[in-house]
Structure 1
Amino acid sequence: MSSTQPTKKRSVKSSRIGLRTTPEQEAIFRRAAEACHKSLTEFIIDSAYRAAEQALLDQRLFVVPNNRYQSFLELLDQPASENQGLRDLFSKVAPWE
């Protein structure tokens, strides 16, 4: 049986970020990393990366042509219309309750 190298490509890590934490924050990070079976560095980088991606995804840019801008603002100012599907959904008990 021949041994094979994993095909997962590793990127070279050449940047460094320093962090200062309180002892309490460090303890929480270490406990969480252990719970996730990751090194402290892996845990912090993974968590920060996910948070950064989410922050960027939460940014919204709307481009509206000048001739449609006023119509767009009027639509935004209208009161929300009733959505029976959402009303039905929220009237049901959540499966975890």
Structure 2
Amino acid sequence: MTANAHSPAARSARLGLRATPEQEVLLRRAAEVAHKSLTEFILESARLAAEQPLLEQCLFMVSGSQYQALMDLLEQPGQPNEGLRDLFARKAPWENA
């Protein structure tokens, strides 16, 4: 049986950090709004922030001929695309306010 991520047994590593009083107030307010303990809020936020650059690291294994085929495609001039033209002609949602 594995320990739940919220159980004391699962959280045996201790992290220390220092924050400005303003940062502490902000974190405590955000944790309260999220209905989480300060520790839960900080750990979840830090985990999400840590996952992002790791998820952006993608490794694709392909054969030499597959790689060359991709490079050949990338070297070709772009083709007109009505869908993209329409998308880029629209205002962003935050510009409509």
Shift of 1:95: 5.7
State percent identity of aligned pairs. 57
Map 1:78-89 onto structure 2 (within 5 A).
78-89=76-87
Does structure 1 residue 53 correspond to structure 2 residue 67? Answer: no
- 72 and 25 in structure 1: CA distance in 2 versus 1, 3 angstrom threshold: same
Tell me how far apart the structure 1 counterparts of residues 59 and 17 of structure 2 sit (CA, whole Å): 32
Would you identify which runs of 4 or more consecutive aligned residues in structure 1 move more than 4 Å? 93-96
Post-superposition CA distance 1:27-66 (Å, at most 9, x none): 2212211222221111111111122222222112122212
Give the TM-score of the pair, scaled to structure 1. Answer: 0.67
Partner of 1:5: none
Map 1:1-97 onto structure 2 (within 5 A).
10-11=4-5, 12-93=10-91, 97=96
Shift of 1:19: 1.5
Deviates more, 1:72-81 or 1:37-46: 72-81
Tell me how far apart the structure 2 counterparts of residues 31 and 22 of structure 1 sit (CA, whole Å): 14
SS of residue paired to 1:46: helix
Q: Which runs of 5+ in 1 are unaligned?
A: 1-8
Q: Which runs of 5+ in 2 are unaligned?
A: none
User: Over aligned residues, Cα RMSD in angstroms?
Assistant: 2.5
Give the TM-score of the pair, scaled to structure 2. Answer: 0.67
